[in-house]
Amino acid sequence: MDLPRCDYFEAGRCRSCALIETPYDEQLRAKERRCRDLLPSVPASTWLPSVAGGVRDFRNKAKLVVGGRPASVTLGILGPDGEGVDLRDCLIQSPGIRRAIPRLASFLEATGLPPYDVPRRRGELKFVHVTEAPGGVSAGGELMLRFVVRSERGLAALRRGLPALRRAIPNAAVVSVNLLPEHRAVLEGEREETLLGSSLAMDLGDGVPLHLRPRSFFQTHTGVARELYAQAAAWVARENPASLWDLYCGVGGFALHAAERAPGGARARRVLGVEISEAAVRSARRSAREAGIAARFEVADATAFALAADPAALPESVVVNPPRRGIGAELCAWLEASPVRQVIYSSCNTESLARDLEAVPSYAVREARVFDMFPHTRHMEVAVELVRAG
């Protein structure tokens, strides 16, 4: 694959894509070697061919820092001096997001709101988060726009400006404003006000649209996410469990794709998703209802839910997709002592995955695969299928 020429990287303005000058095949081989080094207990024969992420136009979400001045905003990142660095032509973003960013900049300039000045701790506009549904703008793809502001002043101005925003970006399906009054190195605050719509439908082309609310998590690479869900569903189908739990289920991606009828239609698989975010659970329930899938979803902490479960009602298979810290010692110990036959573990942090695999010695890796969710960086997604040894 030919690498894109990134003017931002060459000029030293942005180094986020640290590997962008490394041939893509070499990037992927380095990630595969790193996985094998960090996961020595995974037999070489179990690794499936990696899923490539491509070299440009792949990212479905932009988290843009608002910088500059009221009449001349930048949308991108903060430089070392705390000033905004404009990255509106970043080539890893989807074409639909790139087309929307200049319009967003013009809209924000028209509001007159000052960008937040990090060194001086003053100003109003902090971030804009843009998420694109599959399809792209030219194909009717919709956008979710989240503005992060410092105070009620910013909220009021954006509410007044909503008609102008809709004219500028007519495919905006969801618009919300998040209030972050504190000077903290975080991307959002506790309060979210929705101005338009409720959720963005991420239709992966498989009949199971996933509904994202403004604070929901979804993988940043739609194409690789599609392959990840399909791989997990294939692993589940091979084991054909009567029951499955999806812990840390988010908006239900793994659960909904694994909740097909058993071969021959003799029985429906009992699928339960567990997620601590109430908004994500509402989205998962909506997706299940619209797709006619008989999966259930509950709001709970994954570890606490498992530890409190009735031993007589435990599942045959479990899917886990935890944050970077991994599933932790308690949940590992629960799995080790449980009758669960199959565990599918999707991880964005190979180090925590390695630690957790060491804590479940009763399971053996049957297959493993690298999913290059984050091209041009050293980050990756790794999924492993574990089965009871012997």
The set of residues, in sequence order, having a beta carbon less than 8 Å from that of 264 and lying 6+ positions away, is none
Domain identity same for 30 and 143: no
Domain identity same for 30 and 70: no
Count the domains in the chain: 2
What CATH code is carried by the domain that includes residue 110?
Answer: 2.40.50.1070
Q: Which structural domain, as residue segments, surrounds residue 292?
A: 24-55+221-388
Identify whether 2 is part of a domain: no
Q: How far is CA 332 from CA 27, 89, 324, in A?
A: 32, 44, 15
Which of 17, 249, 332, 348 is catalytic? The answer is: 348
Domain identity same for 68 and 193: yes
Q: What is the largest CA-CA distance in the chain?
A: 67
Identify whether 335 is part of a domain: yes
Domain identity same for 365 and 337: yes
Helices H / strands E in the chain, number of each: 11, 16
Domain identity same for 168 and 270: no
Domain identity same for 327 and 225: yes
Residue showing tokens 């400006």: 161
Domain identity same for 274 and 360: yes
Identify whether 84 is part of a domain: yes
For residue 302, give both structure tokens: 């994954």
Q: What is the pLDDT of residue 263?
A: 47
Q: What is the pLDDT of residue 204?
A: 87
Using a 10 angstrom Cβ sphere, with 0-12 exposed, 13-18 middle and 19 or more buried, the burial of residue 267 is: exposed
The set of residues, in sequence order, having a beta carbon less than 8 Å from that of 114 and lying 6+ positions away, is 69, 70, 122, 123, 124, 125
What CATH code is carried by the domain that includes residue 322?
Answer: 3.40.50.150
Q: What is the pLDDT of residue 1?
A: 67
Do 354 and 39 touch, CB atoms closer than 8 A?
Answer: yes
Using a 10 angstrom Cβ sphere, with 0-12 exposed, 13-18 middle and 19 or more buried, the burial of residue 54 is: middle
Residues in the chain predicted with pLDDT less than 50, given as ranges, are 136-139, 261-266
Do 155 and 111 touch, CB atoms closer than 8 A?
Answer: no
Q: What is the pLDDT of residue 179?
A: 97
For residue 190, give both structure tokens: 């506790």
Domain identity same for 85 and 165: yes
Domain identity same for 49 and 75: no
Do 327 and 357 touch, CB atoms closer than 8 A?
Answer: no
Domain identity same for 332 and 193: no
Q: Does 249 qualify as catalytic in the annotation?
A: no
Identify whether 104 is part of a domain: yes
Nearest in space to 127 (alpha carbons), one of 215, 186, 72: 186
Q: What is the pLDDT of residue 4?
A: 84
Amino acid identity for residue 38 in this structure? L
The set of residues, in sequence order, having a beta carbon less than 8 Å from that of 245 and lying 6+ positions away, is 271, 272, 273, 274, 306, 315, 317, 318, 319
Do 297 and 306 touch, CB atoms closer than 8 A?
Answer: no
Identify whether 211 is part of a domain: no
Identify whether 379 is part of a domain: yes
